[in-house]
Chain A
């Protein structure tokens, strides 16, 4: 491989003790997946060593060697969750191609490298007394679930994953319906999750409704909900489960800096003195479901 590897910039510890790296990371795998998804795996041991599930990478969509040329499109970086960490060495993102940035990234090839900054933000809190994690994911919210599941399972936590999409063909992973009456995603089972897949078009319900049906069974000491997906789903999950279980949600918002400087990506949080704005990029993307001022959120 002819690509450069390793830090392209000095990497240092911020005064708040966090480690953020900027790397030119060689692309090890670039694969088109079903339903307009794309998988990128890069070699980034510095990030892999410290990444937590729920954290994200801020990715420059262009070839790193063109950083000195003003781009006509995709001027800003794009935030993508860390989807998997491979033996601490390689980091994977799973992106749904939505616009110009996603299209550019899906055209990047093995042998090139990605200019990325990370790991950024605060991921899911994994409390010591956590026994059962009910992971609820909708749409591209599936991306962080493999890393989250692997981490939880390694810590002895039971992972019940409820994954929703509009239809079977909207998922990056093949839906397995071999067992009558039960749909699952084998890649998620492979990392240790008990998976229930809910296609609105097939099952005739939303993933939040599937959660409601199983809430009583899953509630109990040491149980917690961790949800990633569209705001409408997250809101519904908090409404459904918030009374019985602690809920953590991973939010998305438009970003510019990705490091808490520009105040682009704020969300309204209810604090002691009323509503305050917190950044998705630095205070989040994972928040306690109860602290979000849902009525003020959203476009």
Chain B
């Protein structure tokens, strides 16, 4: 297998601010840990970018165990609660291993205050990460992300705080648990985000009918997987029309056809999440399928496909 750069064929590269990705397939945050855990199960260096687990200024223990995840029809609900090693341990211990894959590594950050986000970004500015994703949307931490991501002003405030702390491209990761996701996306872009990514998980609950208690120790969590895909495609479509910044689409992508839905609806890049738990090589499979599609449709570049949807007559 040759390095993807040497494979001739359609141009798969993607521009996110000043960052060029060799192809549009990324791994979503929180799925892949800090990159090393899945090592050996697929050629992750082949993918466009790896987004690492969200980190905060200080390490966090996360939600209580038993249970943190539960499987649901065509999906799962998780309430990990941002358990993470903290930004400093990420930089010192984890980042070198993730960078050794030889593709772009994107750090994801969260915090309780805009200053927390800025502090993380400042530390990451001195590292070889290719970009920073601002997780304003994690629905699991009571005091954390949710408060920012559901409000356009608060979301913009976070992006504005992070912007001067780093020269890295900034990606604002949006929650779908809002009335008007376009307003949040516009506010983030106006505040200096180079790109937006969506969707994070949909708020959800699973009840154990025998005990009449929630299955998740945190009571509520976030739904991901194929179950959310059509809802995620719609939001990607709407946001791509609302902002000129590139959009990274995700939510339930399982195969190349799923990923192409997002791209045709307006996403410049896509991320695979839950599917990696089933198929650790899903990203590679999706990438191969996108390449095959471009060849089959005689398209020279992925860019020709982005947002190429033609709406039907009905309104």
A residues in contact (CB < 8 Å) with B: 9-16, 19-20, 22, 60, 67-77, 117, 253-268, 275-277, 282, 296-299
Knowing A256-B76, A277-B62 are in contact, say whether A69-B254 is a contact too (CB < 8 A). yes
Name the residue among B40, B229, B258, B276 with the largest chain A CB count within 10 angstroms: B40
A72 touches B40 (CB 8 A): no
Smallest Cβ distance from A16 to chain B, in angstroms? 8
Q: Which residues of B contact A12 (CB under 8 A)?
A: 39-40
Complex: how many Å from CA A16 to CA B36?
9
A9 touches B42 (CB 8 A): yes
Smallest Cβ distance from B94 to chain A, in angstroms? 11
Complex: how many Å from CA A257 to CA B274?
9
Q: Which residues of A contact B78 (CB under 8 A)?
A: 256, 262, 264
7 A-B pairs (CB sep. < 8 Å): A69-B255, A71-B74, A117-B41, A254-B70, A261-B32, A262-B80, A297-B66
Complex: how many Å from CA A254 to CA B206?
14
Q: Which residues of B contact A77 (CB under 8 A)?
A: 277-278
Complex: how many Å from CA A270 to CA B130?
37
Complex: how many Å from CA A28 to CA B254?
30
A76 touches B76 (CB 8 A): yes
Q: Which residues of B contact A255 (CB under 8 A)?
A: 69
Mask, B178-216, CB within 8 Å of A = 1, is 000000000000000000000000000000000100000
B65 touches A67 (CB 8 A): no
Knowing A22-B41, A70-B74, A257-B37 are in contact, say whether A75-B281 is a contact too (CB < 8 A). no
Q: Which residues of A contact B225 (CB under 8 A)?
A: 70, 75
Q: Which residues of B contact A76 (CB under 8 A)?
A: 71, 76, 277-278
Closest Cβ neighbor of A260 among chain B residues: B37
B39 touches A14 (CB 8 A): yes
Indicate which residue in A60, A68, A262, A276 contacts B285 across the interface (CB closer than 8 Å).
Answer: A68
Q: Which residues of A contact B275 (CB under 8 A)?
A: 70
Closest 6 A/B residue pairs (Cβ): A261-B33, A12-B40, A70-B226, A261-B37, A70-B254, A264-B69
B37 touches A259 (CB 8 A): yes
Q: Which residues of A contact B38 (CB under 8 A)?
A: 257, 259, 261
B31 touches A257 (CB 8 A): yes
Smallest Cβ distance from B195 to chain A, in angstroms? 24
Closest Cβ neighbor of B254 among chain A residues: A70
Knowing A72-B73, A277-B65 are in contact, say whether A261-B31 is a contact too (CB < 8 A). yes
Closest Cβ neighbor of B255 among chain A residues: A68
Closest Cβ neighbor of A101 among chain B residues: B71
Complex: how many Å from CA A16 to CA B76?
29
Smallest Cβ distance from A20 to chain B, in angstroms? 6
B interface residues, how many (CB within 8 angstroms):
49
B279 within 8 A of partner (CB): yes
Q: Which residues of B contact A70 (CB under 8 A)?
A: 74, 225-226, 229, 252, 254-255, 258, 275
Indicate which residue in B30, B66, B211, B278 contacts A262 across the interface (CB closer than 8 Å).
Answer: B30
B75 touches A262 (CB 8 A): no
Q: Which residues of A contact B61 (CB under 8 A)?
A: 275-277
B37 touches A282 (CB 8 A): yes
A296 touches B64 (CB 8 A): yes
A75 touches B65 (CB 8 A): no
Mask, B50-93, CB within 8 Å of A = 1, is 00010000000110111111110111101010010000000000
Q: Which residues of B contact A15 (CB under 8 A)?
A: 36, 39, 97
Complex: how many Å from CA A60 to CA B258?
21
A266 touches B37 (CB 8 A): no
Q: Which residues of B contact A263 (CB under 8 A)?
A: 33, 62, 68, 80, 83
With contacts A10-B43, A70-B226 known, what are 16 further pairs, Cβ within 8 A?
A10-B42, A12-B40, A14-B40, A15-B97, A60-B278, A70-B74, A70-B252, A70-B275, A72-B74, A75-B75, A75-B76, A253-B66, A261-B34, A261-B53, A263-B62, A296-B64
B145 within 8 A of partner (CB): no
B246 within 8 A of partner (CB): no
Complex: how many Å from CA A261 to CA B70?
16
Q: Which residues of A contact B73 (CB under 8 A)?
A: 72-73
B280 within 8 A of partner (CB): yes
Complex: how many Å from CA A146 to CA B28?
40
Q: Which residues of A contact B277 (CB under 8 A)?
A: 75-77, 256-258, 262
Smallest Cβ distance from A291 to chain B, in angstroms? 15
Indicate which residue in A9, A16, A72, A253 contacts B281 across the interface (CB closer than 8 Å).
Answer: A9
Mask, B255-266, CB within 8 Å of A = 1, is 100100000000
A75 touches B74 (CB 8 A): yes
A9 touches B33 (CB 8 A): no
Closest Cβ neighbor of A67 among chain B residues: B279
Smallest Cβ distance from B170 to chain A, in angstroms? 25
Smallest Cβ distance from B108 to chain A, in angstroms? 14
Smallest Cβ distance from B32 to chain A, in angstroms? 6
Closest Cβ neighbor of A22 among chain B residues: B41
Smallest Cβ distance from A47 to chain B, in angstroms? 13
Q: Which residues of A contact B30 (CB under 8 A)?
A: 262
Smallest Cβ distance from B135 to chain A, in angstroms? 15
Complex: how many Å from CA A262 to CA B275?
13
